[in-house]
Chains A and B, each alone.
Chain A
């Protein structure tokens, strides 16, 4: 039961910045937003996680506004190798369950 909504697909060109928006209107107080990346024929890979405001790492940035009802994954200067499916998930900070709910994700295709 995916709790988030994101676009099914996006296209971009090499060198551009890509922003993928995720909606999570009913996010709980304890929930973080976590993004995974999946390349064809591989398992998903964690890329970034945040609770509010902005988080940046070597791969991406994550922007979460004050109301936390949405978030935006930003990939700077994408390359062909960034072509993948990107999943936005709500993850419970205090949960002992450890379960992840994956929706359909966003298929990002980067063109030359």
Chain B
């Protein structure tokens, strides 16, 4: 299957700093990338959907000025958590999709980024 990478895998930062997480599709072009957040023992929560070259669509309750998403190319999307606070500590997972891959529009997940804000 298609491979999606995320960097970094783990990040610890101080409160008030900004953190950038990269999501790359390694062997296919992702027309759409998704950013999820998952708190312990909870399901995936979709934060935003981004299409290459256009602004991201944020889910209700997600602050677009706090979680900046840039999908500058068909293989790279970045999520920047600005002025991070301890409540932003979570597992952030990206997924990528390209329409027409296989018989269905499967999403391929990155390995996730564990963010801890002190």
Note whether A and B form a binding pair.
no
* Chain B residues in the interface with A (C-beta under 8 A): none
* Chain A residues in the interface with B (C-beta under 8 A): none
